[in-house]
Chains A and B, each alone.
Chain A
Amino acid sequence: KQEVTQIPAALSVPEGENLVLNCSFTDSAIYNLQWFRQDPGKGLTSLLLIQSSQREQTSGRLNASLDKSSGRSTLYIAASQPGDSATYLCAVNPGNTPLVFGKGTRLSVIA
């Protein structure tokens, strides 16, 4: 059974810092991996999707990497801003079964 773990569970950083969120998964046979952002009381906003054949994806200040063989992905956020404060969720898509989510990392960026 696929299991997804996110570390750390919570993170607080001063504005302007670069930071890395970690995601690990137990079964490397995945179709793709998505990173989501969730604001309190809101739904999920897709940030980046990495196909299994890709190593990384970039969008603005965000960069996500994927090492399928070791079962790891990282989300790098450059020059963090208070508006980046949210919960970040990693989800693995095994292909023929639904997304499997981690519990998320709750990020606070302090002005």
Chain B
Amino acid sequence: GAGVSQSPRYKVAKRGQDVALRCDPISGHVSLFWYQQALGQGPEFLTYFQNEAQLDKSGLPSDRFFAERPEGSVSTLKIQRTQQEDSAVYLCASSQQRGNEQYFGPGTRLTVT
């Protein structure tokens, strides 16, 4: 497909478990962003990649959150030892260059029980 895809679409984790969320950006898009959206709120920035380089991770809420994009295409957001406050929708977006229009995936809804 031509759009941004994310998997899984839904994830239920028990508190303390590790989870991995995947994002497939639009082919050729250099920039990739991760956002976290709590219920009833707008998305908030987590981290940004330009190709394989993670240039900004200032939005990651704790050191339990880790993201990578080793080959400059697919990205994985990993959350270790999940907590209830991690429950949210995690959105991935890509753009041709930073500052250009961002295209969003459908998101992964994470529920920590």
Contacts and interface: CB of A to CB of B under 8 A. Distances in A.
A103 interface: yes
Contacts of B4: 43
Given A89-B42, A98-B56, A103-B42, A44 B91 contact: yes
Nearest to B103: A46
Counting contact residues on chain A (CB < 8 A from B), the size range is 20 to 34
A96 B41 contact: no
B101 interface: yes
A34 B41 contact: no
A104 B109 CA distance: 19
A106 to B, nearest CB: 9
Q: Which of B4, B6, B98 has the most CB of A within 10 A?
A: B98
A101 B107 contact: no
B99 A93 contact: yes
B1 interface: no
Interface in B41-86: 41-45, 48, 56, 59
B44 A101 contact: yes
Q: Which of A99, A101, A104 has the most CB of B within 10 A?
A: A99
Interface in A19-39: 31-32, 34, 36
Contact of A44 (B40, B104, B109): B104
A42 B107 CA distance: 7
Contacts of B43: 44, 89, 99, 101
Contact of A98 (B33, B41, B103, B109): B33
A43 B45 contact: no
A31 to B, nearest CB: 5
A60 interface: no
B102 interface: yes
A43 B104 contact: yes
Nearest to B105: A43
Interface of B: 4, 6, 33, 35, 40-45, 48, 56, 59, 91, 93, 98-99, 101-107, 109
Interface of A: 4, 31-32, 34, 36, 41-46, 49, 89, 91, 93, 95-104
